[in-house]
Chains A and B, each alone.
Chain A
Amino acid sequence: MEAAQAERAGINLKPSGRMPEEASSIETPVETGKTVGNIAVDDPIFSCRDVDVFYGEKHAIKKVGIDIGKNQVLAMIGPSGCGKSTFLRCLNRMNDTIPNARVVGSILLDGKDIHDKKQDVVQLRARVGMVFQKPNPFPKSIYENVAYGPRIHGLAGDRVELDEIVHSSLQRAGLWEEVKDRLQHPGTSLSGGQQQRLCIARTIAVNPEVILMDEPCSALDPIATARIEDLMEELRQSYAIVIVTHSMQQAARVSQRTAYFHLGDLIEVGETDRIFTNPRHRLTEDYITGRFG
């Protein structure tokens, strides 16, 4: 009936042979080192330029340049193996621990090269904390999990100061009310979501400037995920946060800027508002709309 009406009205209702390949006027070529969008920000905590990472012969990251702004959440998205986690691990030199991994290029933290010979790696990892996919509390008490970092970094003069750091860190991680009566219980006795917040408390206990999160919610249920996301919004008032996530909805919910990686190239970076409504690169569009591969 509709078809007949449409035909009389001179309208072709049939699919018009629209092929995805010819569908878009947005940019399509991948040119290494030519990221679409503005990689720079006004007040960067990290400034990375021409970063290459090699695992032996494998060229895992290609000429990536991007700034990470203070008090911002930067989400890094892309298909598996695109290099987003590898890039994240460059930021606190976690790749140093991988045999035959080689990082080339300039990564400045507050204007200073993190690969400088004088740079103490332990100090760097205190300034640039990391939260992993699977919560990994130490096999110690809740209290000790948080107190460990401040103690080895000598941040507390006495027990009272240490108590205060543990209290405020748990408070900021949104865990204090749930654990204040059982601080001596093992960290592993907590639920998955609580353990992840304990790891966040442990990270912020040493006053970092940046928190790196590598799929921090992928092992958590939706409620625990929502609590971590809520926490990220609070934490960004004090820290810069970089999150690697496979959930595009999560990237859209929590971040102010989004970076899209593809086969080691940083394809596009931009305001999250724009990336999810009007991406400029074809590969970004295909990935976030579920047309990839």
Chain B
Amino acid sequence: MALSLEGHTARAFDGDLSSLHIQAVAMGALVIEQVQLAVNAYSSWDRSIATLVLERERKINLYDAEIEEAALQVIARRQPVAQDLRAVFAIDKVVTELERAADEAKKLALTVLAESDASGFRPGAATAREARALGRVATAMIRSALQAFDLLDPGSAASVVKQDQEMDAEYANALRRLLTHAMEDPRRLQSTIEAAFIMRSLERIGDHARNIARHVGFIGGLDPAATGVLPASLTIKN
């Protein structure tokens, strides 16, 4: 069941909370694009897309700072309690998760830009395919979590758990293949490690999505696992 940030006698309070919420959702939309662009930049080894990712990263940081400031203002001026307090708290945490997810996307872009000249770490066809597959799952996870966050619906946040299992399986497969590849030719060790870092970044983006889902559950109640709003497995990953 969806929750509501509205209905206050002081309607300006509705506006303050909604604005905070909408800003965070908009930031999330930007992060999804960042992840998609970063995966494209890496898998097609495109320096111009990677540059775009870095440029847009500044906007993410701006969102992060603005929403944090707005949340601080709501706390100082409105002294929210109960669900309102949990919402402000959770929105701030969601924004932190989004910012970190965007940081992981930035790592992909930096890899492309740093090694573009030498092209030593340019992914082979199989690695590029795996990065795209992991990127697809990571994007889907953030999208699911953000939809639950947009609707303030703790129940629908639970679908992120299933996607996380898919992510874990994909990630394990990718690592196994990379390891086999490196064992076949130790000269490939450095590029393999670099590719493993990329996979790890994408897997981390999935973790951040999962944490966002958990924060949506928190808005619904302090102890989502106990109240059955979310499965107990939906715990915060660091």
* Chain A residues with a Cβ under 8 A of chain B: 2-3, 5-6, 8-13, 15-16, 18-20, 22-25, 248-249, 252, 276-279, 284-286, 288-293
Q: Are B150 and A12 in contact (CB under 8 A)?
A: yes
Q: Are A11 and B81 in contact (CB under 8 A)?
A: no
Q: Are A22 and B2 in contact (CB under 8 A)?
A: yes
One of B4, B10, B79, B83 near A19 (C-beta < 8 A)? B4
B contact residues around A20 at 8 Å (CB): 4, 6-7
Q: Are B9 and A285 in contact (CB under 8 A)?
A: no
B contact residues around A11 at 8 Å (CB): 25, 28-29, 32, 143, 146-147, 150
Q: Is B208 an interface residue (CB 8 A)?
A: no
With A11-B143, A278-B222 in contact, is A2–B30 under 8 Å at CB? yes
Q: Are A18 and B152 in contact (CB under 8 A)?
A: yes
Q: Is B33 an interface residue (CB 8 A)?
A: yes
How many Å lie between the Cα of A249 and that of B80 in the bound state? Answer: 10
Q: Are B22 and A13 in contact (CB under 8 A)?
A: yes
A37 to chain B, nearest CB (A): 14
B contact residues around A16 at 8 Å (CB): 2, 150-151
B contact residues around A278 at 8 Å (CB): 82, 86, 221-222
How many Å lie between the Cα of A279 and that of B152 in the bound state? Answer: 18
The 10 lowest CB-CB distance pairs between A and B, nearest first, are A20-B7, A2-B26, A23-B4, A6-B29, A9-B29, A18-B4, A9-B32, A278-B222, A291-B7, A5-B29
Dominant secondary structure of chain B at its interface with chain A: helix
Q: Is B164 an interface residue (CB 8 A)?
A: no
Closest B residue to A274 by beta carbon equals B222
With A11-B147, A13-B22, A23-B4 in contact, is A277–B152 under 8 Å at CB? no
Q: How large is the interface on B (under 10, 10 to 19, 20 to 34, 35 or more residues)?
A: 35 or more
How many Å lie between the Cα of A5 and that of B25 in the bound state? Answer: 11
B60-91 contacts to A (CB < 8 Å) = 79-86
B contact residues around A12 at 8 Å (CB): 147, 150
Q: Are A25 and B8 in contact (CB under 8 A)?
A: no
Other A-B pairs beyond A16-B150, A23-B3, A24-B1, 8, CB < 8 Å: A5-B30, A6-B25, A11-B32, A23-B2, A24-B83, A25-B229, A278-B221, A291-B9
How many Å lie between the Cα of A13 and that of B147 in the bound state? Answer: 9
Please name 18 pairs of A and B residues whose Cβ atoms are closer than 8 Å in the assembled complex, sorted by A.
A9-B143, A11-B28, A11-B32, A13-B25, A13-B29, A18-B3, A18-B151, A22-B4, A23-B7, A24-B83, A276-B81, A277-B81, A277-B86, A278-B82, A285-B83, A290-B10, A290-B13, A291-B7
Closest A residue to B28 by beta carbon equals A11
